Amino acid sequence: MVSAVTVPLTREAPSPVGIRAQIRGVSHHYPTPGGGLLHVLDDVTFTVEPGECVALLGPSGCGKSTLLRLLAGLEQPGRGKIGADGVRIVGPDPSRLLVFQDPTLYPWRTVRQNVGLGLEARGIADRARRVDEVLHLVGLDGFADAYPNQLSGGMAQRAALARVLVNDPRLLLLDEPLGKLDALTRMTMQAELLRLWQNAGFTTLLVTHDVEEALLLAQRVLVFTPRPARIAASFEVGLDYPRHRDDRHFVELRRRILEVVGHSDIL
Amino acid sequence: MNDIAHHAPDLPAIAATADWPAAREAPPFWTTGAVAATVWLAGSAINYHWPDLSPWARTPLLAMAQGALGVLLLGAAIFGGRTRQVRYFHPAGRWLVALGALLTVWVVLTAKTALLPLPFFPPPQSILEVYTDDYARLLESLWYSAWLLVPGFVAGALAGFGAGVAIGWSRTVHYWGHPILRIVGPLPATAWLPVAFFFFPSANSASIFLIALSTGFPVAVLTASGISGVNSAYYDIARTLGANERFLIARIAIPAALPSVFVGLFMGLGASFAVLIVAEMMGVKAGLGFYLQWAQGWAAYANLYGVLILMALLFSGLISLLFLVRDRVLAWQKELVRW
């Protein structure tokens, strides 16, 4: 374990919105087509405090996405416990929502119908106003009646974000949500994610490959080893928002994280 | 006037010049239309003034129809070249020329010179005679065929869709249903004909069953494969958003599989035509297939061609109708405009 940076961290009072996510000794594997087992997670333990934003950094295919699927309740861990506010997670719930790298919008539904899907699935009839609010929040006013294949990549990802935000999630699981966007859109969306998280107060787990993205958004960065994933290091970021890429502490943290990443043969 | 010259005051630098020719307006005169009109009018004159070898009753009517179309085309070519209604037919211009010429060649080779002999090569006026004199029986046949085709197709499509959804969704149903589909599906529905005529109380009900069978198999296979091919992330997202199984099937699986379902419906419709005609030729004593067989039995070749043309129009019309429905339902697929 690498010790945290010495910059004092001023954590606010625990957010009433956010969930405390607990991962206790979790190991997980998948059967391979050849009949073997693919060991993806190895005895992973950490806790994300309510309202905290934690970035999970590690090589692709190391098992970070699996961790998010377990937290979303889409799968059960092979070993160990996954909990939300001290209660074991046994299935999906609209309070814990995932955004993938692909927007994965339903192409036969308009943006409005995509965003309203969660409310519709739960039988909430009065959707229009809430959907409009959230579309405004992500800057998609005027695109409510467009179909997904009429949207650019950035707009589609905003719609995907709106589709989860409309449900007032308490835990937001972001699986490389900006991975496929061009550099400029990415920077804009990073700022917007930050704004959304600061305003709404949900707990956030962000899986990313991008050290800078992790440092721009997260309060804590967990670096994982290649498969099977173990936590290689944990960094408290402790910088005020908005952060600047040329800040002295930022540069120092990036150097130290890349060092760990280099030691674990990631690059 | 052209658009660029129109805006010339704003954009003096890009006025229409020899280097940058202005976009051309459609000419007011429709040349191809005029050629087609000439061909049809000439065909009409030849047909009317050149006496038949043995007189055909409907030669004057056919000549009049050719002439009427020629006059209509001439009017469109001269006066209507700019109207939207006439422009709609512009792409068909060369076909109109070819069809006019072909009809005239056919008239000359049969009715006028008999270079193509009867009874195998009836002149077009004799086919026209079938429509003017035997329309009651043709309409009746059409009606009987519709009474087999529509209930059979609808029942088959519904059953096939239901079976396909069940096989595509449930592992248990897939385990039991898929092998049956694999083994029995490729058997042409017409092969069941003797068995069906034996088991069903009437030839009609047997035919409806077979038409349903021929429609149902492709619809079931393609619905099932469409459902099992749905991106699993669609389900993951919907489940986290609070969808139950019913919602997943009705709102995610089925809409996602619809493009594939329509391919099945198209294949099923084609198969149902084949079964309809064979069933009517084999057992049912009415309908277009029966008319076809009757015409063959009496060597009434004009009736044979007449009913074939009718069938072609009917079947292609039904397929066009299916495509129209598909384009409406799957409109989201066509919205490819990007902002």
Mean pLDDT over residues B39-66, rounded? 95
pLDDT band at B24 (very low <50, low <70, confident <90, very high): low
Contact list in A for residue B244 (CB cut-off 8 A) is 121
pLDDT (0 to 100) of residue B244: 93
Residue A4 is predicted with a pLDDT of 40
Considering the domain architecture, whether residues B93 and B146 belong to the same structural domain is answered as no
Tell whether B242 and B139 lie within a shared domain: yes
Contact A108 B240 (CB under 8 A): no
Terminal-residue alpha carbon distance, chain B: 32
Domain endpoint, select from B94, B122, B150:
B122
- With CB atoms and an 8 Å threshold, state whether A104 touches B231: yes
Mutate to test the interface with B, among A117, A120, A131, A145 (most CBs of B within 10 A): A117
Residue A17 pLDDT > 50, yes or no? yes
pLDDT score, position B25: 60
Phi-psi region of A217 (alpha: psi -120 to 50; beta: other; left: phi over 0): alpha
The answer on B328 and B273 residing in a single domain is yes
Would you say residue B128 lies in a domain? no
Say if the Cβ atoms of B252 and A106 lie within 8 Å: yes
* Contact by Cβ (8 Å): A214, A193: no
Q: Are B339 and A152 within 8 A, CB to CB? A: yes
Is the pLDDT at B177 greater than 60? The verdict is yes
**Is pLDDT above 50 for B206?**
yes
Mean pLDDT of A128-157: 91
List CB contacts (< 8 A) between B258 and chain A: 108
Tell me whether residue B4 is in a domain: no
Please, which pLDDT band fits residue B18 given cuts at 50, 70 and 90? Answer: low
Q: What does the pLDDT read at residue A8? A: 38
Facing residues of A224 across strands?
A231
Residue of B nearest to A165 (CA): B241
Whether A94 sits inside 8 A of B336 (CB atoms) is no
Indicate if ipTM > 0.85. Answer: yes
| DSSP-derived secondary structure for B5-55 | HHTTTT-GGG---SSSPPPPPPPSS-HHHHHHHHHHHHHHHHHHHS--SS-
Joined together, the tokens standing for residue B71 give: 């006059």
A2 Cα to chain B: minimum distance (Å): 35
Domain region containing B27: 12-122
Give the pLDDT confidence of B77-135 residue by residue, as tens digits.
888 767 788 888 888 999 999 999 999 999 999 999 999 988 889 999 999 999 999 99
Mean pLDDT on B324-332: 89
Residues B302 and B164 in one domain: yes
* Interchain contact B64–A (C-beta under 8 A): no
d(Cα B117, Cα B119) in Å, to the nearest integer? 6
3-state secondary structure string, A122-152? Answer: CCCCCCHHHHHHHHHHCCCCCCCCCCHHHCC
Q: In terms of Cα–Cα distance, which of B108, B77, B116, B125 is closest to B305?
A: B125
Amino acid at A237: V
Place of tokens 């005051």: B9
Q: Which residues contact A138 (CB under 8 A, 6 or more apart)?
A: A158, A159, A161, A162, A165, A192, A196
Does a structural domain hold residue B208?
yes
On whether any CB of chain A is under 8 Å from the CB of B333, the answer is yes
Q: In the numeric block, which tokens belong to residue A40?
A: 């993806």
CB–CB contact A106 B241 (8 Å): no
CB contact under 8 A, A120 and B231: no
Name the least confident of A64-78, A162-176, B75-89.
Answer: B75-89
DSSP state at residue B339: -
Would you say residue A192 has pLDDT above 60?
yes
B327 touches chain A (CB under 8 A): no
Residues in A closer than 8 angstroms to B339, CB to CB, are 146, 150-152, 155
- Give the pairing of strands A79-84 and A21-31: antiparallel
For A92, half-sphere exposure in the C-beta direction (CA atoms, 13 angstrom radius) is 20
Comparing alpha-carbon positions, the chain B residue that sits nearest to A106 is B234
Tell which of A98, A108, A158, A167 to mutate to test the B interface (max B CBs under 10 Å): A108
- B331: nearest CA in chain A? A108
Provide the pLDDT for residue A261: 81
Indicate if B139 and B96 belong to the same structural domain.
Answer: no
B316 within some domain: yes
Question: Is B193 found in the same domain as B297?
Answer: yes
| More confident position, B100 or A267 | B100
Q: Which residues of A touch B231 (CB under 8 A)?
A: 104
Do residue B97 and residue B176 come from a single domain?
Answer: no
Closest to B279 measured CA to CA, from B339, B168, B218, B190: B190
Nearest residue to A225 via CA among A63, A79, A25: A63
B234 touches chain A (CB under 8 A): yes
Q: Which residues face A81 on adjacent strands?
A: A24
pLDDT reading at B20 higher than 70: no
Q: Is residue B160 part of a domain?
A: yes
Which of A148-152, B181-185, B248-252: highest mean pLDDT?
B248-252
A147 contacts in B (CB within 8 Å)? 332, 335
pLDDT at A162 over 70: yes
Supply the pLDDT for residue A9: 40
Q: How far is Cα B160 from Cα B220, in angstroms, rounded to an integer?
A: 4
The domain boundary, picked from B122, B153, B182, lies at B122
Evaluate whether residue B3 is within a structural domain.
no
* Whether A102 and B339 lie within 8 Å, measured CB to CB: no
Are the Cβ atoms of A121 and B339 closer than 8 angstroms?
A: no
Residue B143: CATH number of its domain: 1.10.3720.10
Regarding whether B303 and B191 lie in a shared domain, the answer is yes
Retrieve residue A104's tokens.
């994965």
Burial-class residue B147 by CB neighbours within 10 Å (0-12, 13-18, 19+): middle
Task: Give the C-alpha separation, B190 to B81, whole Å.
Answer: 51
Q: What whole-number distance in Å separates Cα of residue B22 and Cα of residue A18? A: 64
Domain membership of residue B339 (yes or no) is: no
The arrangement of strands across the sheet holding A231-236 comes to A96-99, A171-175, A203-208, A53-57, A220-224, A231-236
User: Is the domain of B242 the same as that of B314?
Assistant: yes
B154 and B241 together in one domain = yes
* Max CA separation in chain A (angstroms): 54
CA-nearest residue of chain A to B246?
A121
pLDDT tens digits, B135-170: 999 999 999 999 999 999 999 999 999 999 999 999
Q: How many CB atoms lie within 10 A of CB B150?
A: 14
Same domain flag for B233 and B299: yes
Contacts of A93 in chain B (CB under 8 A): 240, 242
Nearest chain B residue (CA) to A169: B241
Find the CB nearest B241 among A108, A121, A146. Answer: A121
pLDDT digits (tens, 9 = 90+) for A198-222: 888 899 999 998 899 999 999 999 9
Chain B residues closer than 8 Å to A156 by CB: none
Structural tokens at position B215: 């429609």
Half-sphere exposure of B281 (CA within 13 A, CB side): 13
Residue owning tokens 């084949």: B274
For the record, the structure tokens of B339 come out as 């902002």
Q: Which own/partner contact pairs does B19-26 have at CB distance under 8 Å and 24+ positions apart?
A: B26/B81, B26/B82, B26/B87
Cβ–Cβ below 8 Å for A93 and B240: yes
Percentage above 70 pLDDT, chain A:
92
Can you list the positions of beta strands (E) in A1-65? 21-31, 37-48, 53-57
Is B111 in the same domain as B21?
yes
Q: CB-CB: which of A72, A117, A150 is closest to B339? A: A150
Which among A94, A150, A151 is the nearest to B242, CB-wise?
A: A94
Q: Does B258 touch chain A (CB under 8 A)?
A: yes
Q: Is there a contact between B238 and A107 if contact means CB atoms under 8 Å apart?
A: no
What is the pLDDT averaged over residues B231-251?
94
Cis amide leading into B119 (omega within 30): yes
For residue range A71-104, what is the model confidence (pLDDT) as tens digits? 999 999 999 999 999 899 999 999 999 999 899 9
For range B305-334, the mean pLDDT:
92
Q: What is the mean pLDDT of residues B218-233?
A: 95
Domain count, chain B: 2
pLDDT(A2) > 60 = no
pLDDT at A6: 37
Nearest by CB: A104 against B233, B333, B339: B233
Q: What per-residue confidence (pLDDT) applies to A7?
A: 37
- What are the contacts of A208-211 at 24+ separation with CB within 8 A? A208/A55, A208/A56, A208/A57, A208/A176, A208/A178, A208/A179, A209/A57, A209/A60, A209/A176, A209/A179, A211/A57, A211/A254, A211/A257, A211/A258, A211/A261
Cα–Cα distances in angstroms (integers) from residue A158 to residues A111, A152, A154, in the given order? 10, 10, 6
Give the per-residue pLDDT at B21: 57
Say yes or no: B314 contacts chain A, CB-CB below 8 A: no
Query: How confident is the prediction for chain B on average, in pLDDT?
Result: 89
Final residue of a domain: which of B122, B149, B169? B122
Looking at CA atoms only, how far is residue A188 from chain B in angstroms? 19
Residues of A in contact with B237 (CB under 8 A): 98, 100, 104, 163
**What does the pLDDT look like over B25-37, one tens digit per residue?**
656 788 899 999 9
Report if residue B304 sits inside a domain: yes
Query: Chain A within 8 Å of B239 (Cβ-Cβ)?
Result: yes
